[in-house]
A and B are shown apart, each in its own frame.
Chain A
Amino acid sequence: MPSDVALRVKALESILVEKGMVDPATIDAVIETYESKIGPRNGARVIARAWVNPDYKKRLLADATATIAELGYGGSQGEHMVVVENTPTVHNLVVCTLCSCYPWPVLGLPPTWYKSAPYRSRAVIDPRGVLREFGVTLADDVQVRVWDSTAEIRYLVLPERPSGTEGMTEEALAALVTRDAMVGVAKVSRSGGAAA
């Protein structure tokens, strides 16, 4: 049985279509775009390129917007990109405490947890606790850098390349990179998926 909100959205769509304000084919095209063109697989290709190509990585850290655009990604909510690099001594975590700012061209639309009160409230005051909740435990001597996207800069985390992946192709590496790792709530593991 459809929920109350589902029924309201459906009613609103049919009213606006009847008034000629909205074309349902446009709605279909928007959904298709976010389901197949704009999403975290784009960001994963950027990360994998940075892992295999030191020159690309250097440029990515110096001018993320232009360097990401080399792979064809840019536009709305990616106008001013900054890439922050995780190392054995630094872990980066991205949040938008005020709303839901997120780098759409490389990560798509934000996951529900990113927009939720529990994450937005605690990521700045207890980032280590938040990370533990996602299964990542950091040593005390690793610095956590939280980036609260309050203005127009959008952040992408460059996760550490997992050991034992030296022989892998760029494409195979991209398949290991998760959305969560690029927000900074997970590490990348050799087997893909969430790393403990």
Chain B
Amino acid sequence: MNGIHDMGGMQGMGPIEVHEDERPFHAEWEARAWGLIRATGPFGPTRRRNFRYEHENLPPAQYLQMQYYERFIKVLVDRLMAAKLLTQAELDSGRADPASPRSTPSVTPANIAEQLARRRSLRREDVKIQPQFKAGQRVRARNINPVGHTRLPRYMRGHRGTIVADQGVFDFQDTDAEGYTLPDRPQHVYTVGFTARELWGEAANARDMVHAELWEDYLERA
């Protein structure tokens, strides 16, 4: 979707807070929020839905105003409520409804290390598909505007680039309008290089390049 999250190339967002030490959390609540998200299972109870699409659907003003871990907590709460595992009354009171069912955590201190370390590769070594493009070939990013989740940034659409590398076959991550990942569409993913001038015009430095990994469905011959 053409949402606020797809912000590559926007201007006027203000200065970057460049002075930041290397600690992962800068407030106790950030640490608890991240721990809570990981301890609730792989981003909550409904796994088929694309977690990122739920972030992208937050109203733009809210998206920009919320802190990063605050957005994660918001999506987790929305998921738990949609799954009827949490109610607004509970959130308001800060106490679990005594009548609500009690469960046992699936993520535990005993298995959390393995959960955090686990590889979750989308690469499909088992799928053999002939690639449509090869390194060095000129391509154009398609001008598409899907309403679901997509990994083709707006600022690349319609522009011509060059295939830098074929990264192999990966599961497609685009979703339908409900946020459900489109099934059965594994395909080659390519690293594509665009000149800064192709993307941003003659004022850009003639040497500079911007690269991204793009699924084959996003590309056409140029």
Using a CB–CB cutoff of 8 Å, the interface residues on chain A facing chain B are 2-3, 5-6, 8-16, 18-23, 25-31, 33-35, 38-40, 74-76, 79-80, 95, 97-100, 108-109, 111-113, 115-125, 127-128, 130, 133-135, 140-153, 178-179, 185
The answer to whether B26 and A112 touch across the interface, beta carbons within 8 angstroms, is yes
The answer to whether A76 and B120 touch across the interface, beta carbons within 8 angstroms, is yes
Docked CA distance A97–B7 (Å) = 6
Which residue, A12, A29, A98, A113, has most C-beta atoms of chain B within 10 A? A98
The answer to whether B8 and A20 touch across the interface, beta carbons within 8 angstroms, is no
> Which residue of the partner chain, among B6, B29, B70, B77, contacts A97 with CB atoms under 8 Å?
B6
B127 CB-CB contact with A under 8 Å: no
B58 CB-CB contact with A under 8 Å: no
Residue of B nearest to A151 (CB): B213
B129 CB-CB contact with A under 8 Å: no
| Residues of chain B from 10 to 62 with CB closer than 8 A to chain A in the complex | 10-11, 13-18, 20, 22-29, 31-36, 38-40, 52, 55
B108 CB-CB contact with A under 8 Å: yes
Docked CA distance A19–B33 (Å) = 17
| Residues of chain B from 64 to 104 with CB closer than 8 A to chain A in the complex | 64, 67-70, 73, 76-77, 80, 85-86, 90-91, 94-96, 100-104
The answer to whether A144 and B209 touch across the interface, beta carbons within 8 angstroms, is yes
| Residues of chain B from 179 to 222 with CB closer than 8 A to chain A in the complex | 189, 191, 196, 199-200, 205, 207-215
Q: Which residues of A contact B107 (CB under 8 A)?
A: 22-23, 26
15 residue pairs of the A-B complex, CB under 8 angstroms, read: A9-B33, A9-B36, A15-B94, A19-B100, A28-B35, A30-B39, A39-B24, A98-B153, A111-B20, A121-B10, A121-B11, A143-B208, A144-B207, A147-B212, A150-B152
Which residue, B6, B105, B155, B214, has most C-beta atoms of chain A within 10 A? B105
The answer to whether B52 and A15 touch across the interface, beta carbons within 8 angstroms, is no
Q: Which residues of A contact B10 (CB under 8 A)?
A: 117, 121-122
Q: Knowing A5-B67, A26-B35, A119-B16 touch, does A79 contact B153 (C-beta < 8 A)?
A: no
Residue of A nearest to B73 (CB): A9
The answer to whether B24 and A145 touch across the interface, beta carbons within 8 angstroms, is no
Docked CA distance A79–B52 (Å) = 19
Q: Which residues of B contact A147 (CB under 8 A)?
A: 211-212
B123 CB-CB contact with A under 8 Å: yes
The answer to whether A27 and B36 touch across the interface, beta carbons within 8 angstroms, is yes
Q: Knowing A31-B35, A99-B55, A112-B26 touch, does A120 contact B7 (C-beta < 8 A)?
A: yes
Docked CA distance A21–B22 (Å) = 31
> Which residue of the partner chain, among A5, A15, A125, contacts B95 with CB atoms under 8 Å?
A15
Q: Which residues of A contact B69 (CB under 8 A)?
A: 9
B113 to chain A, nearest CB (A): 7
Q: Knowing A97-B6, A117-B64, A119-B16 touch, does A30 contact B35 (C-beta < 8 A)?
A: yes
A187 to chain B, nearest CB (A): 14
Residue of B nearest to A155 (CB): B211
The answer to whether A35 and B6 touch across the interface, beta carbons within 8 angstroms, is no
Q: Which residues of B contact A12 (CB under 8 A)?
A: 36, 73, 76-77, 91
The answer to whether A152 and B123 touch across the interface, beta carbons within 8 angstroms, is yes
Q: Knowing A117-B13, A134-B16 touch, does A149 contact B24 (C-beta < 8 A)?
A: no
Which residue, A9, A23, A116, A179, has most C-beta atoms of chain B within 10 A? A9
A152 to chain B, nearest CB (A): 5
Residue of B nearest to A135 (CB): B18
The answer to whether B11 and A3 touch across the interface, beta carbons within 8 angstroms, is no
